[in-house]
Amino acid sequence: MEIGRVVGTVVSTVKSSGLNSFKLLVVTPLSVAEELTAANGPSSYVAIDLVGVGEGEVVLVTKGSAARVSDPTVPTDAAIVAVVDSVQIGTQNAYSKT
Amino acid sequence: MEIGRVVGTVVSTVKSSGLNSFKLLVVTPLSVAEELTAANGPSSYVAIDLVGVGEGEVVLVTKGSAARVSDPTVPTDAAIVAVVDSVQIGTQNAYSKT
Amino acid sequence: MEIGRVVGTVVSTVKSSGLNSFKLLVVTPLSVAEELTAANGPSSYVAIDLVGVGEGEVVLVTKGSAARVSDPTVPTDAAIVAVVDSVQIGTQNAYSKT
Amino acid sequence: MEIGRVVGTVVSTVKSSGLNSFKLLVVTPLSVAEELTAANGPSSYVAIDLVGVGEGEVVLVTKGSAARVSDPTVPTDAAIVAVVDSVQIGTQNAYSKT
Amino acid sequence: MEIGRVVGTVVSTVKSSGLNSFKLLVVTPLSVAEELTAANGPSSYVAIDLVGVGEGEVVLVTKGSAARVSDPTVPTDAAIVAVVDSVQIGTQNAYSKT
């Protein structure tokens, strides 16, 4: 899974019916080191929200068929499956939700 | 899922029969920030159209097995599953379909 | 799916039995813009041929589990599923099979 | 599979129920040559622990649907499936657990 | 599938039981052009051996769920499915097993 930050939303009227009941959120990947920082390489993507997150929150995103474990009829390849409370790297606290 | 723009079409006569009833569209990945811009890294690819889109439209593309949720017999790894109406990044409107 | 060009063949005697009845072709990814050009980043790979293609032909390749839609017993992650007749980008003809 | 080092942990209260019984570990990819070194390109990610590992250990991580072989109801795309005792490259010992 | 060279082995005692009966081999990706050369970008990874290969051999590796076609209970995302006898690029012999 990948750590990311929810930065926005997508609105769509014309879409596959399997997407109807989900929020479509824009997620920016975060690099995990002594702190969480914006990742350089990969760009943002869109994930469905399975846990109820707010904008700005740090989350875990699962990709591929894992995104459809709870509902195989949703045509998504990315799903937010957790809100991150804290990330500990070695003895250092890299992130804490405030 | 990935945000992209439909930029073209592929015509093919000799193909797997599972592809017969779908339009094959060329999609360019878009980078999502304060505006949508052409992504630098990845190049264009071909997706089937599941929602009925027009050239130039901004769309959501799902990849991998998610592209076959609605029809597991289609040998594709990419499908257009939504037309994007708008993208909101924080308090900013990054894109609106006009 | 990805647009590529068939540039060669692989011969193998010792292999998984599921690969026995397929040609193993070397495919070079092509970048799609106003013309099709050799892609800089990714390198060539090997795909099974599901449609009967010749060397030098421009093809569509599907990756991942999509490559096994027609036969789930073949241990491949890439399959040629179409011969490309033409690619149209906007009003421009980016490629035509001659 | 990929060789990585366990460098940290993620704590999450609000998450998909399928993740409940697993430790969420931060893994840094390692490059395999004459020695194991931190990989330059890809950044760290989060995997569930299937074998019981400790921080700092070198492990094998499997990605994609392979991460759900032992439990298809866990919405993860990465799982630690082995603790690495040693890596031999040619006649050279690239790594030994001490 | 990807062409690679077997360059080493991984030994692991503590691992998922599904991995028990397989050799874990380190594979370096090869670039395919007029000759096979070490690929610059991607680093080595670990694959199970399904065909019985020796160190130094050039092989075909399949990734993702394709690696589990012959045994869906093995938690791997990479498997060696063929020993490469020769690679022909156009009229040129890029590789021959000697």
Q: What is the pLDDT of residue D98?
A: 87
> Smallest CA–CA separation between E89 and chain D, in Å?
29
The beta-carbon neighbor of C69 closest among B8, B26, B75 is: B75
What pLDDT, on the 0 to 100 scale, is given for residue A38?
Answer: 83
Return left, alpha or beta for D65; rule: phi > 0 is left, psi -120 to 50 is alpha, else beta. alpha
Whole-angstrom CA distances from C16 to A40, C6, C63, C77 are 40, 23, 19, 14
Number of inter-chain CB pairs under 8 A, A vs D: 104
- List of E strands, D1-51: 2-11, 24-32, 36-38, 45-49
Tell me which chain B residues have a C-beta less than 8 angstroms from the C-beta of C33. 44
Residue of C nearest to B67 (CA): C66
**D78-83 and D58-63 as β-strands: parallel, antiparallel, unpaired?**
antiparallel
Selection from D66, D93, D65, D98 nearest residue D81 by Cα: D66
Topology of domain A2-96 in CATH is OB fold (Dihydrolipoamide Acetyltransferase, E2P) (2.40.50)
In Å, how far from its chain's centre is CA A63? Answer: 9
Which of D46, D68, D73, D80 should one mutate to test binding to chain A, selecting the residue with the greatest count of A CBs within 10 A?
D46
| Residues on chain D touching A51 (C-beta within 8 angstroms) | 14-16
Burial class (CB in 10 A: 0-12, 13-18, 19+), D33: middle
Stretch B35-40: mean pLDDT: 82
Looking at domain D2-12+21-96, its CATH architecture is Beta Barrel (2.40)
A31-35, B77-81, E19-23: range with lowest mean pLDDT:
A31-35
Does the pLDDT at position B40 exceed 80? no
Residues B42/C48, Cβ–Cβ less than 8 Å = no
Q: State ipTM.
A: 0.95
Are D3 and D30 contacting, i.e. CB atoms less than 8 angstroms apart?
Answer: yes
Q: What distance in Å separates residue A92's CA from the closest CA in chain B?
A: 30
Which residues of A fall below an 8 Å CB-CB distance to D? Answer: 1-3, 29, 31-33, 39, 41, 50-52, 60, 62-67, 69-70, 79, 81-90, 94
Residue B23 CB contacts under 8 Å (≥ 6 apart), including other chains: B9, B48, B49
pLDDT digit string (tens) for chain E, length 98 residues = 999 999 999 999 999 999 999 999 999 999 988 788 887 666 899 999 999 999 999 999 999 999 999 999 999 999 999 999 999 999 999 999 98
Domain boundaries, chain A: 2-96
Between CA A3 and CA B88 the distance in angstroms is 21
Q: Is A54 helix (H, G, I), strand (E, B) or coil?
A: coil
Q: Which of E9, E13, E43 sits opposite D31 (nearest CB)?
A: E43
Which residues are registered as beta bridge partners of A92?
A89
Confidence grade of residue B41 (pLDDT, cut at 50, 70, 90):
low
pLDDT, residue D41, reads 64
User: Which of B2, B60, B65 is closest, CB to CB, to A12?
Assistant: B60
- Class of the domain covering B2-13+20-96: mainly beta
From D36's Cα to the closest Cα of chain E, the distance in A is 11
Hey, what are D24's tokens?
């969420």
Q: What's the average model confidence in pLDDT over A33-40?
A: 81
Average pLDDT over residues A34-63: 91
Q: What angle do CA C92, B26, A16 make, to 5 degrees?
A: 140
CATH of C2-12+19-86, one of 3.40.50.300, 3.40.50.720, 2.40.50.220, 1.10.287.3510: 2.40.50.220
pLDDT of residue C43: 85
**CB distance B16 to B75 below 8 Å:** yes
Residue D42 has a pLDDT of: 66
Give the nearest partner residue to B8 out of C70, C81, C89, using CB atoms.
Answer: C89
C-alpha pair distances (Å), D4 with each of A40, B80, D40, D44: 21, 35, 13, 9
Task: Find the mean pLDDT for residues D80-92.
Answer: 96
How close is the nearest chain D Cα to the Cα of A41, in Å? 9
Cβ contacts of E43 on chain D, cutoff 8 Å: 29, 31-32, 39, 41
Nearest CB to E69; choose among C55, C73, C78: C73
Contacts of C28 (CB under 8 A, 6+ apart): C4, C5, C7, C38, C39, C44
Closest Cβ opposite residue B76 in set C3, C66, C84: C66
Express each pLDDT in D26-51 by its tens digit.
Answer: 999 999 887 888 876 668 999 999 99
Q: Which pLDDT belongs to residue B42? A: 66
- Name the residue among C7, C12, C76 with its Cβ closest to that of E84: C12
Round to whole Å and give the CA distance between D81 and C55.
Answer: 41
Nearest to D84 by CA among D32, D8, D22, D9: D32
Nearest to E7 by CA among E67, E80, E70, E75: E80
Q: Is B87–A14 a contact, with Cβ atoms under 8 angstroms apart?
A: no
C-E contacts at Cβ under 8 angstroms? 104
Q: Using beta carbons and an 8 Å cutoff, which residues of D are at the interface with E?
A: 1-3, 29, 31-33, 39, 41, 50-52, 60, 62-67, 69-70, 79, 81-90, 94
User: What's the pLDDT tens digit per position in C43-94?
Assistant: 899 999 999 999 999 999 999 999 999 999 999 999 999 999 999 999 999 9
Band (D81; pLDDT cuts 50, 70, 90): very high
Q: Cβ separation of C81 and B7 shorter than 8 Å?
A: no
Do the chains contact at C83 and B13, CB–CB below 8 Å? yes
In the structure encoding, which two tokens stand for residue C41, read together?
Answer: 């980043």
Burial E73-89 (b: 16+ CB within 10 A, else e): ebbbbbbbbbbbeebbb
Subunit contact B87:A7, Cβ cutoff 8 A:
no
Q: Do E88 and C11 touch (CB under 8 A)?
A: yes
Stated as kind and residue range, the H or E segment containing C36 is strand C36-38
